[in-house]
A and B are shown apart, each in its own frame.
Chain A
Amino acid sequence: MSERQKFNVIGKSVKRSDMLEKVTGAARYAGDLTLPGMLHGKLKRCEIAHANIKRIDTSKALALAGVKAVLTHKDVPHVLHYGSPHPRSASVTKDQYILDTKVRYWGEAVAAVAATTEDIADEAIRLIEVEYEALPAAITLDDAMAAGAPVIHDNGLEGNRVVPDMLFKRGDVEKGFAEADIIIEGNYAVGRPQPAYMEPNVCVAQWDGSDKLTLWTSTQSAFMVRGTLAEVLGLPLGKVRVLCDHMGGGFGAKQDLFQHEFLCALLSRQTRRPVRMEYSRKECFLGGRSRHPGTIWLKQGFKRDGTITARAAKVVFDSGAYGSHAPGVTAVGASALTSLFRCENVHLEGKCVYTNTPIAGAFRGYGVVQTYYALDIQIDEAAEKLGMDPAELKLKTAVREGDIAPSGHAIVGHGLEDCIREGMKAVGWKERPVGCGSAAYRTVSPADGAVRADALPHPTSKKVRGWGIGCEMHGSSAYPGIKEQGNALVNLNEDGSATLLTGAAGLGTGAHTALCQIVAEELGLEFEAVSVVHGDTDIVPWDIGAFASHTTYMVGTAAKMAAAEIKQKLLARAADQLEVSAGDLEVEGGFIGVRGVPGRGISVRDCVAPKLGIPAAHLFGSGTYMPTKSYSFGAHFVEVEVDTGTGQIDVLQVVPVHEIGKVIHPIAAAGQIEGGIQQGIGHTLTENHEIDPKTGRSLNANFVDYKMPLSMDMPDIKTIILETAPDPGGPWGAKGVGEDPIIAIGPAIANAIYDATGVRFRHYPITPEQVLEGLARRRHV
């Protein structure tokens, strides 16, 4: 920011508003609720990837003592719905029923039970008999796109396409390739990581005497849940109330509406009792949402000086059995390739395809994780061919001020260049160990001991080290895909405190705290004087949901507008009381002072408090912020150590540099970055939900076989946050940070592995076995 502004509340790591509850165990999550007479629901899931249901016999289950209701496809509304209940602009695949006559993936629910105890409900599930007519299944992308492939949804499109293919183009790629000195082309493949939020999906449904449904559920998008439940169950919005206080993570996936949320509501309606339903960890894998696996073919042309002359790509994403977010993820992922590293001539195709596998949905990084993995690695490949330093080439080609972003907006500032420069300085990039990743090392096999000397704790050690850099940018808010809006209401209470009402979900990011800071800053109150009300669709203003790095940016601006409205009313009132002009007043730390007259003024509290014969003043303000877009940037610098004997990859240190505009809460922002890096290391090295390519059965739906980086695996992270490119659209220039950190870490690791071993990987996850194979291949050339 050019002019140095003084802040009292924002930019400080105040004690988060949700922390006391969380460290004492008092925080209420949806699954902590018990209601009188509450029943327990369970889902019966199929064990076949593609089949018609010929017969379901529920008689034995119904006969079991304690069973109160059983629902199958015959008993539920047969209404198609969007799995991801976004506004129509983003969700285009109305392809799900609550329960269908057909199953399309191993683990899809076919029936639901409510019983007096969980144990009885489990037993009842076992007693339900289902007879299937097996259909040929398409488990892999190749299966699904092959001529004559089984049709998963009869939507009139060839090759199991979810939607018609997309094309993003600019300039003339043919001309660009013709002008290139070198051309690099490659196929990149990405796996199927799970968000693996710690709180399993859970909800409790209850209908009151006026036939109104209340659903407590762990969701990022309470208003979307309300809208879709109302639509599918045929209820007016006023008859559905959705509540979510705290939630134990979502990372994007909990934007969708899941089968249990509908079925819990229906079981409760039928039994006239509250019903609770919670997924087991296994069900979170089967019935949850993964990142989209897929392939990216990428070809780029370069001039000798590094200028990128053309970029062509074909992005193919596996949507799983239903559309969910596939159209949005494909569009965002493919169109992201128009940017990051400058190129005038682009031709980018996007395709998403149904398979008979669990559903892929929204997950932090939304398609960009995949496509930037390919793009960044290929720039690294080009740097080597051009004889340039990879960081220098990335710096040279980085997007800059005025370039057109994927959203169509002009980029503000030089965030990516700043991140690359700052990181190079912080890690001493140019002075990094000689031999590390040098061409000399790569031409000699590790068996010859030609590893860099200072990396070796012992002369016979077979461990080699390398450095890599990865880059990213990501938009705050989902605009223009979704015409979002941020809303906020603020009340000033008669004791001079303020209450913020927001529809933004309590995802755990600290966003509510940031919103309270923004209100306090604008209103001139202490942080502690602002409290937040959230998570009740009957009370708080509409919000699209906590995703797309939207909350601080969009809702933050709305909260600032609401606070500004109150401030105006407050100063007008104080001006009357002090008999000065409102323009001469300023408010800070809860005190309204007359500018230039120290000590003269009135406290906010006294200004609005009741006095003899005068009732309290109730001041309120509202803010609605309409669509805009900004981009945050990042560059990750990573050092890895690879054991050439076992193939084991150890991430030793990460220096993430992020440019996110004005930082509202530094600790919360750094926490987002560090958590994103953890998930990114996971999908790059170990995390992959394995689906048997023959049967479609999940092979690792638990936390032992699905291996995430834990405390022993996490490297040192030295987070650097820059505020060099504030966006005029965010509060005091603030931008989003939620999605960014998971994007750059993957290619940074892959590039570091190459630097260490000379083995280039164009996929994730990269396993020790593959490292050993790669090293063996290198020895033989």
Chain B
Amino acid sequence: MKRNITTTINGEARELAVETFHSLLDALRNAAGLTGTKKGCDVGDCGACTVILDGAPVCACLVLAAETDGCNVTTIEGLQSAPGSLHPLQESFMMLGGAQCGFCTPGILMMAKALLDENPNPTDDEIRFGIAGNICRCTGYTKIIDAIRDAAVQLRQEAKGGGKS
């Protein structure tokens, strides 16, 4: 049975018809056409599907789409504030080798954003803990941690009004 829901995705109210038993992940990828969010396991084990739901990071494969009626969802497609202006996390991941195959990257970027929103000045251990549920099989995490640390510095400078020039 399909249900009509209205979910705000990346700032835009989207009316979606979803099966009651379908996950938010499937709704995003299929009904909403946002394929940036990835499916690595579909059972909450890998973090590839991480999105931000009403301010908190979740595995989209573990959330029923129907439950997000009226909610706010941010996906990787909504991480940039505007086309052409990347989030500092995206810049750092690009420059510091935070992504290789890129399949884990959307989930890790969203998890990292949630982490930095909550803790703008994390230690390396806090970064490791923050992304503990995200499997990356390519990088050994070294450069992911470098990139998150670097983005945190940039964000703190921006917050201080320093901006990015």
Among A26, A34, A281, A712, the residue within 8 A (CB) of B45 is A281
Using known A-B contacts A198-B40, A711-B131, A712-B132, determine if residue A508 contacts B101 with beta carbons closer than 8 Å.
yes
Assembly CA distance A678 to B39 (angstroms): 22
Q: In the assembled complex, how far is the CB of residue B60 from the closest CB belonging to chain A, in whole angstroms?
A: 13
Assembly CA distance A712 to B141 (angstroms): 9
Q: In the assembled complex, how far is the CB of residue A764 from the closest CB belonging to chain B, in whole angstroms?
A: 18
A248, B140: Cβ atoms closer than 8 Å:
no
**CB of A75 closer than 8 Å to a CB of B:** no
**CB of B46 closer than 8 Å to a CB of A:** yes
B40, A677: Cβ atoms closer than 8 Å:
no
A702, B41: Cβ atoms closer than 8 Å:
yes
**CB of B69 closer than 8 Å to a CB of A:** no
B43, A19: Cβ atoms closer than 8 Å:
no
Among A19, A249, A708, the residue within 8 A (CB) of B103 is A249
Assembly CA distance A479 to B46 (angstroms): 37
Using known A-B contacts A25-B37, A199-B38, determine if residue A675 contacts B140 with beta carbons closer than 8 Å.
yes
**CB of B7 closer than 8 Å to a CB of A:** no
Q: Give the chain A neighbours of B40 by CB distance below 8 A.
A: 198-200, 248, 281, 703
Q: Give the chain A neighbours of B140 by CB distance below 8 A.
A: 671, 673-678, 714, 717
Query: Which residues of chain B in 91-121 are interfacial with respect to chain A, using CB atoms and an 8 Å cutoff?
Result: 93-106, 109
A248, B103: Cβ atoms closer than 8 Å:
yes
Total B residues in contact with A, Cβ cutoff 8 Å = 58
A198, B141: Cβ atoms closer than 8 Å:
no
Q: Give the chain A neighbours of B19 by CB distance below 8 A.
A: 119
A24, B102: Cβ atoms closer than 8 Å:
no
A280, B42: Cβ atoms closer than 8 Å:
yes
**CB of A509 closer than 8 Å to a CB of B:** yes
Interface 9-mer from A10-18, A453-461, A636-644:
A10-18
Assembly CA distance A200 to B143 (angstroms): 24
B138, A249: Cβ atoms closer than 8 Å:
yes
Q: In the assembled complex, how far is the CB of residue B104 from the closest CB belonging to chain A, in whole angstroms?
A: 5
**CB of B30 closer than 8 Å to a CB of A:** yes
Among A23, A678, A703, the residue within 8 A (CB) of B139 is A678
Q: Give the chain B neighbours of A671 by CB distance below 8 A.
A: 97, 100, 138-140, 142-143
B36, A712: Cβ atoms closer than 8 Å:
no
Using known A-B contacts A16-B94, A703-B46, A711-B131, determine if residue A246 contacts B137 with beta carbons closer than 8 Å.
no
**CB of A35 closer than 8 Å to a CB of B:** no
Q: In the assembled complex, how far is the CB of residue A175 from the closest CB belonging to chain B, in whole angstroms?
A: 45
Interface flags, A418-441, vs B, CB<8A=1, else 0? 000000000000000000000000
A711, B132: Cβ atoms closer than 8 Å:
yes
Closest to A673 in B: B140
Q: Give the chain A neighbours of B133 by CB distance below 8 A.
A: 710
**CB of A206 closer than 8 Å to a CB of B:** no
Q: In the assembled complex, how far is the CB of residue A476 from the closest CB belonging to chain B, in whole angstroms?
A: 19
**CB of B73 closer than 8 Å to a CB of A:** no
Interface flags, B125-140, vs A, CB<8A=1, else 0? 0011101111111111
A711, B145: Cβ atoms closer than 8 Å:
yes
Q: Give the chain B neighbours of A703 by CB distance below 8 A.
A: 40-41, 45-46, 135
Assembly CA distance A25 to B102 (angstroms): 9
Q: In the assembled complex, how far is the CB of residue B61 from the closest CB belonging to chain A, in whole angstroms?
A: 11
Max chain B C-beta neighbours (<10 A), residue from A668, A678, A710: A710
A674, B105: Cβ atoms closer than 8 Å:
no
Q: In the assembled complex, how far is the CB of residue B85 from the closest CB belonging to chain A, in whole angstroms?
A: 11
**CB of A670 closer than 8 Å to a CB of B:** yes
Q: Give the chain A neighbours of B95 by CB distance below 8 A.
A: 13, 15
Q: In the assembled complex, how far is the CB of residue A140 from the closest CB belonging to chain B, in whole angstroms?
A: 28
Assembly CA distance A278 to B39 (angstroms): 10
B97, A668: Cβ atoms closer than 8 Å:
yes
Q: Give the chain A neighbours of B137 by CB distance below 8 A.
A: 195-198, 249, 251, 675, 678-679, 708
**CB of A3 closer than 8 Å to a CB of B:** no
Among A25, A248, A251, A667, the residue within 8 A (CB) of B143 is A667
Q: What are 19 A-B residue pairs whose CB atoms fall within 8 Å in the complex?
A: A13-B97, A19-B93, A21-B102, A24-B90, A25-B75, A29-B103, A119-B19, A197-B101, A198-B46, A246-B102, A248-B101, A249-B138, A278-B39, A507-B101, A670-B143, A671-B138, A675-B137, A703-B41, A717-B140
